[in-house]
Chain A
Amino acid sequence: MNAPADTIAAVATPRGRGGVGIVRVSGPLVESIAKAMLGTCPAPRYASYQRFLDAAGEPLDEGIALFFPGPHSFTGEDVLELQGHGGPVLMDMLLSRCLELGARPAHPGEFSERAFLNDKLDLTQAEAIADLIDSGSEQAARSALRSLQGDFSRVIDSILDDLVGLRMYVEAALDFPEEEIDFLADGESLSRLDALLDQLQEVFRKAAQGTLLREGLHLVIAGQPNAGKSSLLNQLAGREAAIVTDIAGTTRDVLKEQIQLDGMPVHVIDTAGLRNSEDPVEREGIRRAWAEIERADLVLLLIDDETGFVAADQQILDQLPARLPVIRVYNKIDRTGHEPGVTDDTVYLSAKSGIGIDALRAKLEAAVGYEAGTEGLFTARRRHLRALEETLQALQRARRQLVDYQAGELMAEELRQAQAQLGQITGRFTSDDLLGEIFSSFCIGK
């Protein structure tokens, strides 16, 4: 079976291991990527301490580089491993440099898939790899979705629609020259293209600044009224961000605070206490709380230790999405005298006094680390930025082809590339039926 011809890269850091991260690259471009990032290609299978350089030749980080020439490597292809100090943010920069140098982000399970296809894994592992691809692609879809929340995905969808619309005009001009329309010559294509470029530049700017693309983990604090959710938010944030009172139903709106855990941004989200309420304002708050839970990466279910885990808590637990990891947090141990402590899925603490908060923090750090073999949030974000950049470049080339050279067919080619790139963000790959759009929009044909 033919080995795939492209080069893939991903961050591969074992779960919960803060401090060290590995960027792994596999494929034919490995040597040239190594040369660009390290200055030289390291000796095979020999760990060497190196500086990892950015495009300007400035060090991004330093660490251990390992080069395994194919076929004697994990995947059977040339493989490069860069082990850096950095937390996820630095890892992301290393990955992004590899992508700049021609690699593409690996699909979930793709390293193992290549290893298997190149006879590096035995038959008994085939099922496991299939599982990895399957569950991995589901997770990737989910993390893409998370990163694509709200505005961003709507904006991308609408740009994609406009792009398809523009392509329709251009293709119609190329395939139907005998009709009484020429959208290339009459300025229609150019004005549409310029509008697209404006939109895309705006999106790119925002996305690069992080205002549209969500980054970091979403941690939602949920529970009954008065369980101490707002108190916990304040404790984690280190400031009095939320109002705390002893009135049940204090919090109405959704409150977000960004904190750092192991160098990774985490959004802590305080929500209205969950109960049946007749008050329309509170009901809206509760609806919003559930909406946040839908998008969460992790839920802290807050339980008042004074009452213990009661039927109402069980009800909430039952309503949480099955896929969602949940940590049960028993609060107010300063009152009950419970020892602070952490087990697999419970934590005992006091949000008010701060006892047990460090243990919670440690537990969260373990949970937010990259999960080996799956696509983390950063990779998803990185992919999207990359795709946006390439789309933008393709559109700029398209403009040059149209304006400077009147080369409609080359413009069309750039638009095709642009659509393919943009489609990767939302997963809308299928060739939208361009001809169909043409026939339903214009009266064409003799």
Chain B
Amino acid sequence: MKYPESFDVIVVGGGHAGVEAALASARSGASTLLLTHNIETIGQMSCNPAIGGIGKGHLVKEIDALGGVMARAADRAGIHFRMLNRRKGPAVRATRAQADRVLYKAAIRGFVENEPNLKLFQQAVDDLLMDGDRVAGVRTQMGLEFAANAVVLTVGTFLDGLIHIGESQHRGGRAGDPPAIALAQRLREMPFRVSRLKTGTPPRIDARSIDFSMLETQPGDEPRPVFSLRGSHDDHPRQMVCHITHTNVQTHELIMEGLDRSPMYSGVIEGVGPRYCPSIEDKIVRFAGKESHQIFIEPEGLTSNEVYPNGISTSLPFDVQYAFVRSIKGFENAFITRPGYAIEYDFFDPRDLRNTLETRFVPGLFFAGQINGTTGYEEAAAQGLLAGINAALQVQGKESWSPARDEAYIGVMVDDLITQGTLEPYRMFTSRAEHRLLLREDNADLRLTETGRRLGLVGDEQWALFNAKREAVEQELSRLHDTWLHPARLSDAELAALPGAEPTREYRLEELLRRPDMTYDALMSVAAAGPPVTDPVVAEQVEIQVKYSGYIARQREEIAKLQGQEKTALPDTIDYADVVGLSHEVRQKLTEHRPETIGQASRIPGVTPAALSLLMVHLKKIASRKQKKSA
């Protein structure tokens, strides 16, 4: 049957990408349908119960600034918060939280159900409906047809998903969920470049069978960070501690003995796994010299006895898992509640996408999340948001939006994906961002909220909070700039307490704060420098901006120089064979990657500055010819 109502946008998949996609689309005014296998698993964390981390926390804050829900759900579900790299510079500081799975899913479900423009429907999608080249909707397993102007696919690890535990295999989307086989077949018939990736997860253990008394504890950090601008400590549930243990020589021996029955090493698994998230068998083979590996024992939730032993992801046979787990300190009597496994799945070469995550071959069809070759909830959610908003913008006839590399980690990720493609599951790291000093967690809101507001993603409450913060920061910055402090106005005690060399002449407060050892609080301990701002978030922001100002200015200059390249579009119709002077190799690369701008072309390995010049000359030539014709 044809479903009588039609939608602007259909989002397929209720994972992290799907949720943000559906919410962004709906919030910006498009009537949206979220179609997923199972409404109960919306917002489910397939693997470790944690949100954030280096690079990932940055993404979560950006999603928050753009009106997304991941940060708010993490605040409501977080049972153990940390600020990683707290002692290193602000640009690399990142928030991470262990999340209670149940609370997380419940929070997400709440957001999804309370979104007026969004409807949910439970069914597997088997097919796409087409109208010529363009996507026109989807068909479900039972033959139900839903019409829509745009479709966002966020089907995660489910496409032709194959689960491995030792020598046994079965089809599945993740443990306990069915795979998407019909849809995978249908997509393989289309012109997309498809390959396989692999990821894995550790066995889970019943906490009651672990001897924690022998293990190092890891409490959350104080002061405890908060994810969302709209969040607070009041959102946080009761906090728990994590523990740390280690593998040992005996563990490694047991694993080596079972290696011949590992699907990774017997060649059964063809998909490529992430190098930064290796299975324990991988770590032991590749770094044979290391006698011990760290394991973080993370609680799965307040109401669950299960723990997640982070660091021993494996697809070894269950008997080997059982034995090696029990060789680890504290796990001597461990009861495994779920075996570890690896999963292989289809993903699409992201070089076939535009920077809006619309596919190049099928107008109106967007891909987001794990199917684009990424891994991680945050990476998926960020892409979902971008795809969702662009699907909605397209349907509404509005101009698309995609952040630049210097604006957001989302921009870095999408640009990396579409210009370089990926050979292994792509995870965000701060070292991927050349403008890392500009892209901080602390200024994600300042970078993106205004855009979010313009796109209709940011509600009144968030907007008001944001403006209050922004104004307070600006006011304090100009106060520090305009206020001069003469050393004569400082008491001897104040002078003595001030860090660094004693000021010998009158300085702007800003100049004093820029001194290496100075902090905002230290400066404000001088009565004549006050009154200080009371909100620590504002004070922190002011301090960072002042301290980083030299580097920020330099990065901005660098960016300004490249603006021309980033803004110069390379038309879809360009035939690189016509560009005079390009070498054969460069021609081939450009034809394969089809960059959308000169800037993107510049990041394709092997494309030289001379080649870019040749492209610029070629573009100008085309443009002048056109002008002549029309004149």
Residues of A at under 8 Å CB distance from B?
1-6, 107-110, 113, 116-117, 123, 126-127, 129-131, 133-134, 136-137, 171, 173-180, 184, 404-410, 412-413, 416, 430, 434-436, 439-440, 443-446
Contact = CB atoms under 8 A, between A and B. Distances in A.
21 contacts: A1-B616, A1-B623, A130-B614, A131-B580, A134-B581, A137-B608, A174-B85, A175-B54, A176-B54, A177-B85, A177-B88, A178-B296, A179-B294, A408-B92, A409-B89, A410-B551, A435-B432, A443-B286, A445-B283, A446-B277, A446-B313
Interface in B283-332: 283, 286-287, 290, 293-296, 310-311, 313
Contacts of B55: 175
A130 B88 contact: no
A51 B277 CA distance: 64
Interface string B265-297: 000000000111110000100110010011110
A126 B617 contact: yes
Given A123-B621, A130-B581, A443-B283, A407 B89 contact: yes
A130 B617 contact: yes
A435 B88 contact: no
Contacts of A430: 605-606
Contacts of B361: none
Interface in B87-141: 87-92
Contact of A409 (B92, B310, B516): B92
A416 B617 contact: no
Contacts of A113: 613, 616-617
B157 to A, nearest CB: 18
A444 B620 CA distance: 48
A185 to B, nearest CB: 9
Given A177-B84, A177-B88, A404-B516, A443 B290 contact: yes
A189 to B, nearest CB: 12
Contact of A110 (B92, B313, B429, B613): B613
A405 B89 CA distance: 10
Tell me which of B561, B605, B609, B613 has the highest count of chain A C-beta atoms within 10 A of its own C-beta: B613
Given A416-B434, A445-B274, A126 B621 contact: yes
Interface stretch (B160-168, B190-198, B562-570): B562-570
Given A405-B516, A410-B89, A133 B620 contact: no
Contacts of A180: 294
B624 interface: yes
A107 B610 CA distance: 8
Contacts of A405: 516
Contacts of B560: 5
Contact of B617 (A6, A129, A176, A408): A129
A133 B610 contact: yes
Contact of A413 (B278, B437, B616): B437
B613 A133 contact: yes
Q: Which of B311, B620, B623 has the most CB of A within 10 A?
A: B620
Contacts of A440: 275
Contacts of B88: 173-174, 177, 184, 407-409
B430 interface: yes
Contacts of A137: 608-610
B568 A2 contact: yes
Contacts of B295: 446
A17 B551 CA distance: 45
Contacts of A6: 561
A8 to B, nearest CB: 12
A116 B605 contact: no
B431 interface: yes
Contacts of A2: 563-564, 567-568
A416 B614 CA distance: 27
Nearest to B429: A175
Contacts of B274: 445
B605 A133 contact: no
B613 A439 contact: no
A5 B581 contact: no
B362 interface: no
Contacts of A406: 87
A175 B93 CA distance: 10
B436 interface: yes
B616 A5 contact: no
B625 interface: yes
Interface string B429-452: 111101011000000000000000
Given A175-B431, A408-B89, A439 B275 contact: yes
Contact of B84 (A5, A178, A444): A178
B277 A445 contact: yes
B482 to A, nearest CB: 27
B619 interface: yes
Nearest to A118: B620
Nearest to B423: A436
Q: Which 7 A-B pairs have the closest CB atoms?
A: A134-B581, A2-B564, A137-B610, A409-B89, A443-B287, A439-B275, A130-B580
A134 B620 contact: no
A89 to B, nearest CB: 28
B344 to A, nearest CB: 19
Contacts of B54: 174-177
Contacts of A446: 48, 277, 294-296, 310-311, 313
Interface in B572-631: 579-581, 605-606, 608-610, 613-614, 616-621, 623-625, 628
A1 B564 contact: yes
Given A117-B620, A130-B580, A410-B551, A439 B516 contact: no
Contacts of B311: 446
Interface string B197-225: 00000000000000000000000000000
Interface string B326-369: 00000000000000000000000000000000000000000000
A214 B610 CA distance: 25
A109 B617 CA distance: 11
B199 to A, nearest CB: 12
B621 A445 contact: no
B190 to A, nearest CB: 31
A107 B608 CA distance: 12
B605 to A, nearest CB: 5
A142 B602 CA distance: 22
B92 A123 contact: no
Interface in B534-584: 551, 560-561, 563-564, 567-568, 579-581
A405 B500 CA distance: 12
Contacts of B579: 130
B173 to A, nearest CB: 23
Given A130-B580, A177-B85, A5 B564 contact: yes
Contacts of B620: 1, 116-117, 126
Nearest to A433: B605
B569 to A, nearest CB: 10
A434 B91 CA distance: 19
Given A133-B617, A175-B54, 4 more contacts: A116-B620, A130-B581, A405-B516, A445-B277
Q: Which of A1, A129, A444, A445 gathers the greatest number of chain B CB atoms within 10 Å?
A: A445
A368 B618 CA distance: 33
B617 A445 contact: no
A409 B617 CA distance: 38
Given A443-B287, A445-B278, A5 B563 contact: yes
B368 to A, nearest CB: 23
Contacts of B90: 409
A127 B624 CA distance: 14
B89 A444 contact: no
A316 B430 CA distance: 57
Contacts of A176: 54
A61 to B, nearest CB: 30
A76 to B, nearest CB: 12
A174 B623 CA distance: 46
A417 B350 CA distance: 29
Contacts of A123: 621, 624-625, 628
Nearest to A5: B561
Contacts of B561: 4-6
